[in-house]
Amino acid sequence: MQILFLCQSDRFLQVYPPQLRQRLCALGACERIYTAEQLDQTPDAFGDVTDIFSTWGMPPLSSAQIRRFFPRLRRVFYAAGSVQQFARPFLACGVRVFSAWGANAVPVAEYTVSQIVLANAGFFAAAALQSAGKTQQADKVKARYPGNYGAKVGLLGLGMIGRRVASMLRAYTLEVLACDPFLPQETADALGVRPASLTEIFQTCQVVSNHMANNEQTRGMLGYDLFAGMPPYATFLNTGRGAQVVEADLVRALTERPDLYAVLDVTWPEPPAPGHPFYTLPNAVLTPHIAGSKGDEVHRMAQYMFDEYQRVIRGQPAQWEVTLPMLETMA
């Protein structure tokens, strides 16, 4: 057994379709899907494993466990997005880590662009009123939104998802601002975005969309002064991480400014605790983390990792490798 499936069984079967599992088994994988508990039960059974395939539910292992269980391990292929919860010990042991973050970026960007277009049209406020039979109020509210011609949109973070969003927004006549301290000017020019500060984006953009990396520096970064300073009838969109928002401050701003809207696909914790004000605020729209890969879209992530494995074992350049320096800026 050179290839090991390591994950929660239900998640693995969800992401890796039967035909792809069969192809991996033909290359040396065992059909069995192992969990961390099963590693402990048979710690000497994996001495010939060189590659691990996993997805959501990948168990975090210590460096000592990795060396104990997998003395010949060379690579981990993770068919999902963020590897922050498990990657560092593997990298410390000299194991290469690959992630389908590029695949997971596709549906997130599609969701984000659709919400930006709807927000600029006043969809959330007008739909709530129209659905309640308040048709005259709906007509008045929709007239207060700028539409999608020349409106300012702010992107927080220009990683894989943020860049894809910026690229897709080029199909619209929008002015796109971006806040990312690691953004080279030539990349900004290529994407058609203007670098701007966090304050400028919140004070001038009709929609602000969060795509920042999730780390100690960004947690709790978005607070009351930023939300309270948004333009009239602006929208805050979060598909990044809920922990980056001081939620009490966002609640306060939404309460004081009923013209503002927040469209939140992520919160902290997720979902919000019972009784949280997000459930009753009329200008807070919650979705259940649907911006990422779902349904048959998750198979794209597995295919990305299978293709990456094929490239690597053939000696071709990798496309989706994650390194320690990258973890400092990735979501």
Tell me the average pLDDT across 268-276.
Answer: 96
Q: Is residue 87 part of a domain?
A: yes
Q: With bands split at pLDDT 50, 70 and 90, how would you rate the model's confidence at 146?
A: very high
Tokens representing 321 are: 């490798």
Residue 81, pLDDT > 90, answer: no
Please check whether residues 10 and 79 belong to one and the same domain: yes
Q: Is residue 57 part of a domain?
A: yes
Q: Is residue 22 part of a domain?
A: yes
Please check whether residues 148 and 73 belong to one and the same domain: no
Residue range 162-185, pLDDT digits in tens: 999 999 999 999 999 999 998 999
Please check whether residues 72 and 92 belong to one and the same domain: yes
Please check whether residues 64 and 170 belong to one and the same domain: no
Residue 330, pLDDT > 90, answer: no
Query: 68 Cβ partners below 8 Å, 6+ apart?
Result: 43
Query: 291 Cβ partners below 8 Å, 6+ apart?
Result: 107, 108, 111, 112, 239, 265, 266
Please check whether residues 120 and 39 belong to one and the same domain: no
* Structural domain boundaries enclosing 52: 3-103+296-327
Residue 329, pLDDT > 90, answer: no
Please check whether residues 195 and 269 belong to one and the same domain: yes
pLDDT of residue 111: 97
Pairwise CA distance, residues 70 & 47, whole Å: 6
What CATH number corresponds to the domain at position 247?
3.40.50.720
Structural domain count, the chain: 2
Tokens representing 280 are: 């009753």
**Mean pLDDT, the chain, whole residue set:** 95
Q: With bands split at pLDDT 50, 70 and 90, how would you rate the model's confidence at 214?
A: confident
Please check whether residues 70 and 84 belong to one and the same domain: yes
Q: Is residue 291 part of a domain?
A: no
Identify each DSSP E strand in 113-230 by its residue range.
Answer: 149-156, 173-179, 194-195, 207-210
Tell me the average pLDDT across 281-303.
Answer: 94
